[in-house]
Amino acid sequence: MIIRAMNLVDIYFKDKKDKGGNPYTEHLIYVMQNVETTEEKVVALLHDIMEDTDITEKEISDFGIQKVYIDAVKILTKKSCESYDEYINRIIKSKNQLAINVKIVDLEHNMNLDRLKIITSKDMVRNHKYKQAYNRLLPLKKVL
């Protein structure tokens, strides 16, 4: 399943860059390498795919990714109509441990300002938002 997820990443993120201008796949691989279980690794690779690409849930399913992973990815997909706080609240209320554990590592990496070439006040505001979310999610982390 990890290989299928990695194939999707290669297809949908091959030309994407992160806020620091680095290949976006580096972020996805970092998150994958810093979660524990195979299930978490699959979700880690795919956690941004529905938010940052045009792939649909059906296309992910047709690629052979199982529902348990797609459900976690859907939880981790911020809806355009929701605020960041609403998004984090939705993750917490879901009680989906795969989503929670992956989001914690995602936030850890997103809070690493060393990834940016220049740090602006906008980056500092975003980092503060991430730290608040991280502090809310961290107590919910469980080993699967």
Q: What is the pLDDT of residues 28-46, one digit of tens each?
A: 999 999 999 999 999 999 9
Q: Phi/psi at 61 (nearest 5 deg)? A: -60, -45
DSSP class of residue 114 equals: G
Q: What is the mean pLDDT of residues 105-111?
A: 97
Query: Which domains are present in the chain?
Result: 2-140 (1.10.3210.10)
Are the beta carbons of 65 and 39 closer than 8 angstroms? no
Q: How many angstroms separate the first and last alpha carbons of the chain?
A: 17
Q: What pairs with residue 23 in β-bridges?
A: 17
pLDDT above 90 covers a percentage of the chain that reads 92
Q: Phi/psi at 23 (nearest 5 deg)? A: -55, 130
Cα distance between residue 5 and residue 3, in whole Å = 5
Q: Phi/psi at 93 (nearest 5 deg)? A: -65, -25
Report whether pLDDT(144) > 90: no
pLDDT digits 0-9 by tens, 55-92: 999 999 999 999 999 999 999 999 999 999 999 999 99
